[in-house]
Amino acid sequence: MSKEKEVRVGQLLIPAAALEWQFTRSSGPGGQHVNRTSSKAMLRFDAVHSPHLPDDVRRRLLQRERARLTSDGTLVISSQRHRDQSRNVADCLEKLADLLERALIVPKTRRGSTTPRAAKGQRLDSKHRRSETKRLRRRTED
């Protein structure tokens, strides 16, 4: 490819040398054009061994995108939305930037909540009332 592009998301920079491109024929309608051009773009990024990703971002990215990973940890992103190769390349880079952007967000830790004492009391009180109602409906022995 003549124009190498890098991906920048916040403080994170993935250089063009870390991205591997592959181009194949697109599927779907398009007549003779689709049979003659290799417009489908496939982007490969070695997410496991890349020195450009911080460890926490790498861990979140690999956990979230298990379906897009190969067995050796390479992230594969493809695009065949457009008829020309350059727009599909831009689409792949956009998709990678979105994935990295989501991986940069640190998820909030869940704090367990405690049931208020009043709520526990109300629950036990309603159980006691229900129990009393059922006890009063029982047949008494003479």
Is residue 2 one of the residues assigned to a domain?
no
The total of structural domains in the chain comes to 1
Is residue 34 one of the residues assigned to a domain?
yes
pLDDT category at 1 given cuts 50, 70, 90 is: very low
Q: Torsions phi, psi of 5, nearest 5?
A: -125, 145
**What confidence tens digit (pLDDT) does each residue in 119-139 have?**
999 999 999 999 999 999 998
Is residue 24 one of the residues assigned to a domain?
yes
Q: Taking the model in full, what pTM does it have?
A: 0.71
Is residue 69 one of the residues assigned to a domain?
yes
Query: Concatenated DSSP letters for 89-102?
Result: HHHHHHHHHHHHHH
